[in-house]
Amino acid sequence: MIQVQYFARYREALGVDGEQLSWASELATLDDVRLLLLARGGVWALLAEQNLMCARNQELCSLSEPLADGDEVAFFPTVTGG
C-alpha cells in the first residue's frame, strides 16, 4: 500500500486528507502516483500545478523520487508568506 496525504488547499479542494492506494509496480515514482490521481479528472487537475511540492516518508523530494510498497507520499502547494 501507498499512503497518500494531501495538505493545505489541496486537502480542502479534494475534500479528503488522505487515502491508501494499492501497491503496483507501475507506481515506480511519485510522479506515477500523481499521474494516476490526475487521470481521475475534475478537481484532481490541481495536482498538475507547476509549484506542486511533494514528500516521501516525510522528507521533501522531487517527483522523480522512487517509491516502494509501504511508503507515505504527501502533496502540498508551495507556502508563501508576506
CATH architecture entry for 2-76: Roll (3.10)
Q: What is the pLDDT of residues 46-61, one digit of tens each?
A: 999 988 999 999 999 9
8 A C-beta contact, residue 74 and residue 11: no
Q: Could you tell me the residue ranges of all domains in the chain?
A: 2-76
Determine the distance from the C-alpha atom of residue 16 to the mean position of all C-alpha atoms in its chain, rounded to a whole number.
12
Distance CA 68, CA 62 (A): 15
Integer Rg of the chain from CA: 12
pLDDT by residue for the chain (82 residues), tens digit each? 999 999 999 999 999 999 999 999 999 999 999 999 999 999 999 999 988 999 999 999 999 999 999 999 999 998 755 5
Helices and strands: H and E segment counts in the chain: 2, 5
8 A C-beta contact, residue 64 and residue 30: yes
